[in-house]
Amino acid sequence: MQSRVAVISIIISDNSSVENINALLHDYGEYIIGRMGVPYRTKQVNIISIAIDAPQDKINTLAGRIGRLSGVTAKTVYSAV
């Protein structure tokens, strides 16, 4: 199956979801190119960007599972590659 390169942007406003996000990212670790996390304490949110190279269905599944967590928003941007 052909892979796609994408970035999943995650904003976490409920810190109780952090463990679940980390577990999901661990499960998809073979596809993750890199990860950057920024705690924005002023607004009490955490921002995570995930660069990923995977089949589109894997990316959609991961983003969907993350986005269904309480207090979490996830959006995906795909490259043309």
| pLDDT band (50, 70, 90) for residue 57 | very high
Chain mean pLDDT for the chain: 96
* CA–CA gap between residue 41 and residue 72 (Å, rounded): 16
Model confidence over 20-46: pLDDT tens digits? 999 999 999 999 999 999 999 999 999
Amino acid at 76: T
Residue ranges making up the domain that contains 48: 3-78
pTM, 2 dp: 0.91
* CA–CA gap between residue 2 and residue 80 (Å, rounded): 13
* CA–CA gap between residue 8 and residue 76 (Å, rounded): 4
Give all strands (DSSP E) within 1-81, no chain letters. Answer: 3-12, 32-40, 45-55, 72-78
Amino acid at 56: Q
Looking at the 3D structure of the chain, how many domains does it have?
1
> Domain holding 64: CATH number?
3.30.70.1150
